[in-house]
Structure 1
Amino acid sequence: MTFVFVALGGGFGAIARFLTDLRLRAWRGAAFPWGTLAVNITGSVILGVLTGWALHGGQPDGVRSLLAVGFCGGLTTFSTFGYETLRLFTEKTRPRAALNVGVTMAAGIGAAAAGLLLAAAIWH
Structure 2
Amino acid sequence: MDWLMVILGALIGAPLRYLIDSTVQRRLGTGFPWGTFAVNMAACTGLGLLTGAATEITVPEALQHLIGPGLCATLSTYSTFSFETIRLTETSAKLLAAANAIGSVLAGLAAAYLAGHLAAALVG
Q: Which residues in structure 2 correspond to 1:6-45 (within 5 Å)?
A: 6-45=6-45
Q: Which residue pairs with 1:113 in the alignment?
A: 113
Q: How far 1:123 sits from its partner (Å)?
A: 2.1
Stretches of structure 2 lacking an aligned partner (at least 5 in a row)? none
Structure 2: distance between partners of 1:86 and 1:93: 10
Structure 1: distance between partners of 2:79 and 2:53: 28
Q: Which residue pairs with 1:73 in the alignment?
A: 73
Q: Which residue pairs with 1:57 in the alignment?
A: 57
Q: How far 1:35 sits from its partner (Å)?
A: 0.7
Structure 2: distance between partners of 1:28 and 1:119: 30
Q: How far 1:57 sits from its partner (Å)?
A: 3.3
TM-score by structure 2 length?
A: 0.95
Q: Describe the superposition over 1:18-56 as per-residue Cα deviations: whole angstroms up to 9, x where unpaired.
A: 001111121111111101100111111111111111111
**What letter is aligned with 1:53?**
A
Stretches of structure 1 lacking an aligned partner (at least 5 in a row)? none
Secondary structure of 1:27's match? helix
Which ranges of 4 or more aligned residues in structure 1 deviate by more than 3 Å? Answer: none
Structure 2: distance between partners of 1:70 and 1:61: 12
Structure 1: distance between partners of 2:25 and 2:37: 12
Aligned residues, how many? 124
Structure 2: distance between partners of 1:116 and 1:13: 20
